[in-house]
Amino acid sequence: MRIAFLTAPEGVEQIELTDPWQAARDAGHEPVLVSTRSGKVRAFHHLDKADTFPVDEVVGETSAGSFGALVLPGGVANPDFLRMDGKAVAFVRDFFDQGRPVAAICHAPWTLIEADVVRGRVLTSWPSLRTDVRNAGGTWVDEQVEICDHGPNKLVTSRKPGDLKAFCDAFLRVFPEGAG
């Protein structure tokens, strides 16, 4: 299955991109790096610049329908940039409209909030997003991983890099094999 990994051109937390990417690849999926512009994305280790990764597809030139699932890595700057890009927000919303599963870690739920897909859902995130999730109509929980079945699709969320193993295990259980 093709899995979109949506990141901004700069600011994605590297380990929150690379660990889920490798887990998806090891499980036989095809991870695809999608960004708001072509070229490369710059990852970070917290606030320090890290590696760059080539963009495979650009938001606005691809669609949710060409993927079976979506992964939203965190980092503080990454989702903050994405939530200000209308095409990125629409891309995320389309996964929910089409009933496709989504996984988001750390600060990534900011993009979900902007896409207005949190209402009525239970999710976790980096603790500083707790009020934002609640104000958007969601229920925030302090759990290593949360799988929410509200609506036609499943949403997998985790709090932080320390939760990556549980996050990867959960989204691999939830993402359908061979779909998309």
Q: Which of 29, 45, 46, 107 is catalytic?
A: 107
Spatial distance between the Cα atoms of 137 and 116, rounded to a whole number of angstroms: 9
CA distances from 145 to 142, 148, 165, 167, 168 (A): 9, 10, 10, 6, 10
Catalytic-residue membership of 107: yes
Q: Per residue in 87-107, is it b (16+ CB within 10 Å) or e — as a string?
A: ebbebbbbbbeeebbbbbbbb
What is the rounded distance in angstroms from the CA atom of residue 68 to the CA atom of residue 34?
14
Active-site annotation, residues: 107
